[in-house]
Each structure stands twice: as C-alpha cells, then as structure tokens.
Amino acid sequence: GDGAPPGNYGYTSSGYSVYEEENDRLTESLRTKVSAIKSLSIEIGTEVKNQNKMLSEMENDFDSAGGLLGATMGRLRTLSRGSQTKLLCYMMLFSLFVFFVIYWIIKLR
C-alpha cells in the first residue's frame, strides 16, 4: 500500500524508518519530561515535609502559649475574686501611671 516494496514493510535499506526515528525522538523527549516531573515531585515532597515540621513546631508553641495564658487568666480570676481587690486597683493605677510617663517621655522627644 505505501509504495514500499513487498516484504520490506516500510523499512528503508538502513534498517530504520522515519517512524522509528520519530518514535526514538519522542521517547527521549518523554524520558526527559518524566525525569523533570520526578525531580519536581521529589522537591515538592521535601517541601511538604519541611512545612509539616514547621506546622508541628508552631502547634507546640501555640499549645505552650495557650497553657501560659490559661494559667495567667486563672491567677487573674483568683485575684479579682479574692479580697485583693485593692491590690488589683493599685496595679491598674500603676499601669496607667507608667503608660502616661512613657507617653510623656515619647512626646518630649
């Protein structure tokens, strides 16, 4: 059918057809693309592992900060419920005084 001599099945005398050369070229192109995708997926996997590690560390930090904040709030509740209301008022007044002193110092600069 293709005009090739019978029994030769489209092959040229050198043993390779145009189709085989094109298949070889496309196979090599596919091989390079697959290796690029493989290296990219390895890099993505490494990045995911690093991000998961960082998230785990952040979770631990937030847990410890939450525990510290919870303990502080518990102490503040105990302080406000007890007979130490005067002490709480003094602390608030002292905080306001310090705030105004710092504001005044910054204003004078």
Distance CA 53, CA 61 (A): 12
Residue 19 is assigned to a structural domain of this protein: yes
* Helix residue ranges, H only, 1-109: 18-81, 85-108
Q: Is the pTM of this model over 0.85?
A: no
5 within some domain? no
> By residue range, what is the domain housing residue 66?
12-82
At 8-19, the pLDDT tens digits run: 555 555 556 888
Arithmetic mean of pLDDT, 42-47: 96
Q: Is residue 87 part of a domain?
A: no
Within a domain: 42: yes
Domain count, the chain: 1
**Does pLDDT of 82 surpass 70?**
no
Specify the residue for token string 């592992």.
49
- Within a domain: 23: yes
Residue 57 lies in a domain: yes
